[in-house]
Amino acid sequence: MSELNRHWIVGPGALGRLIALRLATRASEGVEVALLGRRRLAASQTLVTPDGTPLTRALTMATVDTPPSPPPDVVHLVTKAYAADAAHRTLAAHLPPGTPLVLWQNGFDCQPRLTERHAGPVLCATTTEGAFVASDDRVVHAGHGQTLVGALDGGHRALADALARRLDGAGLPARAVGDIRARLWQKLAVNAAINPLVARFRIRNGQLRDRPFRPMVEAVIIEVAGIMAAEGVAPPEGEGLEGWRALVWRVVAGTANNRASMLQDVLAGRPTEHRAILGPLLAAAARHGQEVPRIAALQAELCGLATNLADPAS
């Protein structure tokens, strides 16, 4: 597997810029980064590291319909879940067949579709890195996390290893895994129990521990645990309902002061990712003949809260 040197990052949100700016710190090793969006951002971007140090780098900026040349060694699709298909469609025409694609979306919606459709190897990534955009030319890396990468069928191991090495070397701890499908479902389970409720009630994650929200979270966890059992996805630690419960409350405690991504979307008037997070749960419940009234009600409420417009690389 050749070194992954030329990276196109599609979607200049907080995570996209974090990945771009961290990779750009390895320029002396031959790493080249281009950041692609709907519009061109300021070429000089600053990353504020978790210890408060500003790192400024000049990045190649381009738009998805006029990408730079030469072609990349790897494309990272870091758009919101609802924008991934459209961004991929626009970009695919500019990519030589065989170009590896990395999908960084939340939920479990576009991943199987794009794995099928893309003319080259596809990896999925899930990360607990925390970042937010402070301004047009500034992103804050709020907290260190861990990134896992792998193909849905567990294949492309050498590519996943090379990518994990590249990210790791750039200051984003990463590891290749053979079970990324289960990892994506585990993150989806956490997101489903936290994000719709905090977005609906406009509260920080930690407030879910208080009345009247706690029983609402518990009710969602019970439905999620039932779906996961039917899908054969186990919690990362512990077993069954207790394992899912422990995971969700651990994440709530660890992110108590955060405004979850879905709440940030609602507050900013953006579409939310509810379809990519709750949609696969509802589809799985229907497949297994399960009634999930709480999740169905959240989906209906979220549909009313924000229109889920398809939007190219945001």
Give catalytic residue positions.
187
Query: Does 79 contact ligand KPL by CB under 6 A?
Result: no
29-58 burial: b if 16+ Cβ within 10 Å, else e: eebbbbbbbbeeeeeebbbbeeeeeeeebe
Q: Is 191 in the site for ligand KPL (CB under 6 A)?
A: yes
Q: Between 80 and 94, whose beta carbon lies closer to ligand KPL?
A: 80
Q: In the complex with ligand KPL, which residue's Cβ is closer, 8 or 132? A: 132
Question: Among 63-71, 110-118, 119-127, 251-259, which window interacts with ligand KPL (CB under 6 A)?
Answer: 251-259
Angstrom distance (rounded) from CA 83 to CA 148: 22
Query: At its nearest, how many Å lie between ligand KPL and the CB of residue 94?
Result: 30
Q: Does 186 bind ligand KPL (CB under 6 A)?
A: no
* Of positions 251, 292, 295, 313, contacts ligand KPL by CB under 6 A: 251
Question: 15 and 78 in contact (C-beta within 8 Å)?
Answer: yes
- Exposure of 224 by Cβ count < 10 A (0-12 exposed, 13-18 middle, 19+ buried)? buried
* Contact flag: residue 14 with ligand KPL (CB under 6 A): no
What's the min distance (Å) between Cβ of 254 and ligand KPL?
A: 8
* Residue positions counted in the chain: 314
* Residue recorded with tokens 């955060």: 258
Q: Nearest distance from residue 6's CB to ligand KPL, in Å?
A: 29
DSSP 72: P
The closest alpha carbon to 113, from 276, 271, 274, 285, belongs to 276
Residues in contact with 226: Cβ distance below 8 Å, sequence separation at least 6, in sequence order: 285, 290, 292
Interface residue with ligand KPL, options 45, 186, 261, 272 (CB under 6 A): 261
306 near ligand KPL, judged by CB under 6 A: no
CA distances from 94 to 68, 159, 197, 248 (A): 9, 21, 40, 41
Q: How many residues bind ligand KPL (CB under 6 A)?
A: 10
Q: Which residue bears the tokens 């319909």?
A: 65
Of 139 and 190, the one with the shorter C-beta distance to ligand KPL is 190
Pick the closer one to ligand KPL by CB: 164 or 197. 197
- Based on the shown chain and the rule CB under 6 A, indicate whether residue 190 belongs to the binding site for ligand KPL: yes
Q: Is 260 in the site for ligand KPL (CB under 6 A)?
A: yes
The residues of the shown chain that bind ligand KPL, judged by CB under 6 A, are 190-191, 194-195, 205, 251, 255, 258, 260-261
